[in-house]
Structure 1
């Protein structure tokens, strides 16, 4: 590996938004990430540059999703190249980091015995796990450059934080722990949602009790909070009986926190 400081980011084109987000967060941590849309120069032979960059990289991050495993294309070629490079890596040394964006199983047998990062369960925890592996790399300072200046492999970051309301809600929820353990015991998040929205699933007796909307509170007694791409899943207690709720982000009409913010969905 000519450049042991580089990290290659491989993804399917359909996953480019989450790939951009990962790129941005790794660059914020001053990791030297190679991403095709950021690092390829106009006129370069992209096939040759991709293969060269994989061989030069210290780590290969493979974003795994239903799009990446079920399509033919260059993302498969990148994986094959990375697997070839991995055969030259000393036993016990990490090279390929499989990152699952969905609950899917990689089709490459060589990946099945590797420890995966499940980004779909908790984005922040997943990024933290990735950064723990990359901690040995030399930092490359993030520079804020004039976007009109051609800057080659450090092209301006054009990541758009949120496409819609659902993405914004997911980002807020992803920052919460998976159980009710807050430093500030008075902290609480109030979530009001429509109980009959598509992809929202709650027990029938709660729908009978709350046929239109329902407000839950994330404070002391909640467990197993999981923030997915389209919904959150959480265990709450009602009259001392634990119930599992699946709430789609599109069904959430309001978020209100005791720290002083309130977000309401426009109808």
Structure 2
């Protein structure tokens, strides 16, 4: 390898983790959610390729967390993102979320989670906050251990 070049582990990790999300969602689209698995997906509503109803983008101007658990339909995972229809107060709404817009992906049933650091957030001087408790801990107050969060900013310059 020529001097001065480096391996961009951050980009490689982002690609691999987004591929993992694609594979999981594609499997769920085909076979349904197995067992107690369910997902909390937080994404950047300002991402240029996100598609959601105007009233949802007005209500969630920066980020939004969706839950894939009891009721969802038309889940489709493509190479670039996923689309799904969710129910918001008896109003079914279709969404499209590119993988690049995802900030966190958590499956609390197995205490697994991924956190993606955006380029903009890596330029802030504020220290990285401690990982948040899994959604199960927040809902039920039962100590269940932390979700495994993979923070990719460690791999960036």
1:140-184 per-position Cα deviation (integer Å, ceiling 9, x unaligned)? xxxxxxxxxxxxxxxxxxxx99845433322232221358x4342
1:239 and 2:89 correspond? yes
Structure number with greater CO (CA < 8 Å, separation at least 6) is 2
Taking the aligned partners of 2:95 and 2:30, their CA distance within structure 1 comes to 14
Q: Judging changes above 3 Å, is the alpha-carbon distance between structure 1 residues 230 and 175 closer, same or farther for their aligned structure 2 residues? A: same
1:206 and 2:20 correspond? no
Secondary structure at the residue paired with 2:57?
helix
Q: Could you tell me whether the CA contact under 8 Å between 2:44 and 2:62 is conserved in 1?
A: yes
Secondary structure at the residue paired with 1:259?
coil
- Match in the other structure for 1:262: 113
Q: Give me the TM-score of the superposition, normalised by structure 2.
A: 0.60
Q: Judging changes above 3 Å, is the alpha-carbon distance between structure 1 residues 253 and 219 closer, same or farther for their aligned structure 2 residues? A: same
Secondary structure at the residue paired with 1:208?
helix
Matches within 5 A, 1:56-75: none
Q: Could you tell me whether the CA contact under 8 Å between 2:29 and 2:77 is conserved in 1?
A: no
Q: Judging changes above 3 Å, is the alpha-carbon distance between structure 1 residues 196 and 162 closer, same or farther for their aligned structure 2 residues? A: closer
Q: Which has the larger radius of gyration?
A: 1
Partner residue of 2:43 out of 166, 178, 193: 193
Secondary structure at the residue paired with 2:48?
coil
Q: Give me the TM-score of the superposition, normalised by structure 1.
A: 0.37
Secondary structure at the residue paired with 1:176?
helix
Partner residue of 1:230 out of 80, 92, 95: 80
Which segments of 5 or more consecutive residues in structure 1 lack a partner in the other structure?
1-159
Shift of 1:216: 0.5
Q: Could you tell me whether the CA contact under 8 Å between 1:200 and 1:251 is conserved in 2?
A: yes
Q: Could you tell me whether the CA contact under 8 Å between 1:255 and 1:262 is conserved in 2?
A: yes
Q: Could you tell me whether the CA contact under 8 Å between 1:178 and 1:223 is conserved in 2?
A: no
Shift of 1:262: 0.6
Which segments of 5 or more consecutive residues in structure 2 lack a partner in the other structure?
1-11, 119-157
Q: Judging changes above 3 Å, is the alpha-carbon distance between structure 1 residues 170 and 262 closer, same or farther for their aligned structure 2 residues? A: same
- Match in the other structure for 2:33: 182
- Match in the other structure for 1:95: none
Counting matched residue pairs gives: 106
